[in-house]
Structure 1
């Protein structure tokens, strides 16, 4: 039975500030729920996303991130650049004029919404359709895997606005496409379409828009097939591989395999 054949029995744990979290057994779905604004992002949405990471039940193994409507996320809501900003929030202009320590702490808080997706105990999938611009691009990059509709368009527009990508997107972008292409994408702000995303490694899979949800569900189900601890250990090895020497990675592989063999021996008793 594929994921698309299973009956839906889901529980909603959060539905606020443009973010909804639902749980269906070992799969969590995080949905951006403001299609009228193409799921534009705000500080309130970022706090809700950070809260999602805190609310995930321990038996969740796969997290799917999706956006309602025609676009995954068109990026930062431009109201952030107005003098008044959002009600109850510091505007970006006020941040720029404020103390450095306060500015640093505020940006660090925003980054929390983009950080927990990399945890070793879960595998995260972004299902991307339409526009994934700026903060939307970085949110897709925060996930381990990306399934894209044929109409998906990525762009990093921060540099065009006189800013930098500061929501944890620079490291995965370089890791996926290399320094030179990452620099060109960021400095020009151009669109990366689905075919290029698949060719360069930004997208794991590209499908017709009508098949996006089903393809994402099938990938999520496939990720659940292997024993959880083996997937956790493998993700940890792969995520740290580029930061280690070969000898360090060999040692890490031996230690991880030793733990797996101990578990298997215990199961055989």
Structure 2
């Protein structure tokens, strides 16, 4: 059972730029450093990972949103400077570390981006303004994306001599296909709201003033369906890409058998 979040934890997360609000079956996670365009740091990543670990089992939908004009302008560029960020290793220092240590560090960063795909929660990103690099990848971590008409997605890692390493390459490729994903990543160009919807990167686009309302309406619609059915359906769809047709049909039959027995009150 997950322990309740303490006031001290909440304060620490907010200092890192993350706020968690719980309302029954809905968790709202807000990036709350608008004055910095929600630039991301290792402290923010640790906070996001901790939020994922702390969610009560009663939560069914997690809504990710951001304060200010930008969802997230990406990585805090101070990480690339010799001075870095107080209390954090710079990327220059990370680059000089042993292979295992470097791999572990990146894996730790990725945890902030991966829990959004867990099977028991449906996640929604409400994205406005700039969603660049790490910001783009954070939005990609969610199951669904509702975007404002001013959104600008961009994967800028390659222009810095890096690769997208925060768990964004697989969902991007699944959403838009290999060729388009390569073009978006390798050129670093911007993808606006209309194109994002057209290529499957976003579910819907709305005027910026309506973004929060549209995302919350989607959350309410998801919460209206029985939890077990949503969880089973999410698992079927997540696994479909790795199964052939007959294996997927078998998975559907097994899932439906579980649903029928639960609805009938028949234990296995």
Who is 2:52 aligned against?
A: 53
1:90 Cα deviation from its structure 2 partner: 1.0
1:246 Cα deviation from its structure 2 partner: 1.2
1:239 Cα deviation from its structure 2 partner: 0.3
Deviant stretches of 4+, over 6 Å: none
What is the distance in 1 between the residues matched to 2:65 and 2:238? 23
What is the distance in 2 between the residues matched to 1:205 and 1:14? 31
Who is 1:98 aligned against?
A: 97
Q: Contact 1:14–1:52 (CA<8 Å) still a contact in 2?
A: no
What is the distance in 2 between the residues matched to 1:144 and 1:24? 20
Who is 1:247 aligned against?
A: 246
Who is 2:118 aligned against?
A: 119
1:85 Cα deviation from its structure 2 partner: 1.6
What is the distance in 1 between the residues matched to 2:207 and 2:200? 18
What is the distance in 1 between the residues matched to 2:103 and 2:148? 36
Cα-Cα RMSD: 1.2
Who is 2:140 aligned against?
A: 141
1:196-232 residue CA offsets vs partner (Å, 9 max, x unmatched):
0010011101000010011111000000111000000
Task: Please give the secondary structure, in 2, of the residue aligned with 1:224.
Answer: helix
Who is 2:64 aligned against?
A: 65
Q: How does 1:192-211 map to 2 (within 5 A)?
A: 192-211=191-210
Q: How does 1:1-269 map to 2 (within 5 A)?
A: 14-15=10-11, 16=13, 17-266=16-265
State the TM-score, normalizing by the size of structure 2.
Answer: 0.94
Q: Contact 1:131–1:153 (CA<8 Å) still a contact in 2?
A: yes
1:251 Cα deviation from its structure 2 partner: 1.2
Who is 1:5 aligned against?
A: none
Gaps of 5+ in 2: 1-5
State the TM-score, normalizing by the size of structure 1.
Answer: 0.94
Gaps of 5+ in 1: 1-10
What is the distance in 2 between the residues matched to 1:174 and 1:181? 8
How many residues are aligned here?
257
Task: Please give the secondary structure, in 2, of the residue aligned with 1:63.
Answer: strand
What is the distance in 1 between the residues matched to 2:243 and 2:82? 46
Q: Contact 1:14–1:22 (CA<8 Å) still a contact in 2?
A: no
What is the distance in 2 between the residues matched to 1:14 and 1:245? 44
1:14 Cα deviation from its structure 2 partner: 2.5
What is the distance in 2 between the residues matched to 1:104 and 1:47? 16
